[in-house]
Amino acid sequence: MNASTPIIQCSKLAKSYHKGKTVVTPLHQLDLTVFEGEFLALMGPSGSGKTTLLNLLSGIDTPTEGSLVIGGQELSSLSRRELTRWRAKHIGYIFQLYHLVPVLTAFENVELPLLLSPMSKRERQERVKAVLELVGLGDRLHHTPGELSGGQEQRVAIARALVADPPLLVADEPTGDLDRESATRILELLRNLSKEHRKTIVMVTHDPRAAEAADRTVHLEKGQLVKAS
């Protein structure tokens, strides 16, 4: 890892919102740097700000205060439309519950993010096949989610996150719904994507064993960074 190449720089990052007459601040004055190709685990109790931070990093939400720079781009300087375009190019989001379309095949689910791209049909097909091969599902192209195991469904979801070749993957409890063997395989895949393909990965997890797969673990509590390991 090249420590001179940060891909994420958070400075005094904060997020607040109103809940009735109460102001809730799930993230407060957070400073964090993540380097290119790093696999980072985010841990902390429920309500500590992990998912809020993930949503800010992925451009789903915007900060109330502070600076958030990803790949040299200050996200607060982008309009909503610009942020949507930026997110499609730079972020791959991996969910705990996969969010696959049940009537579509693995190939069709992975192809979805590319349908509005300027790629030709042949280019799309080659890209989709390549990422499904990468995640070990080259022989499951035409299977629907109902014909796949939970671990295989998660690998389809990872392939979908990868298909646009984003530099940053954010993962929200990607092994939380899997048995131990399937979870281990998913973590090995994520680690390989970091080490061999230089993808930067930020993963929220409650599982210390999952966090062990990461290069570094940071702990959040009450919206603040309390320790790193």
Q: What was the pLDDT predicted at 211?
A: 95
Q: What was the pLDDT predicted at 224?
A: 87
The CATH architecture to which 37-60+79-228 belongs is 3-Layer(aba) Sandwich (3.40)
- Integer Cα distance of 161 and 131 in angstroms: 10
Residues forming a β-bridge with 171? 94, 203
Following CA atoms 52, 57, 62, 64 in sequence, which dihedral angle do they give, to the nearest 10 degrees?
A: 70
Contact 41, 187 (CB under 8 A): no
pTM for the complete prediction? 0.91
Q: What was the pLDDT predicted at 21?
A: 84
Contact 98, 176 (CB under 8 A): no
What residue segments make up the domains of the chain, in order of their start?
A: 37-60+79-228
Which residues in the chain show pLDDT less than 70? 1-4, 228-229
Nearest to 225 by CA among 99, 38, 53, 7: 53
Half-sphere exposure of 141 (CA within 13 A, CB side): 13
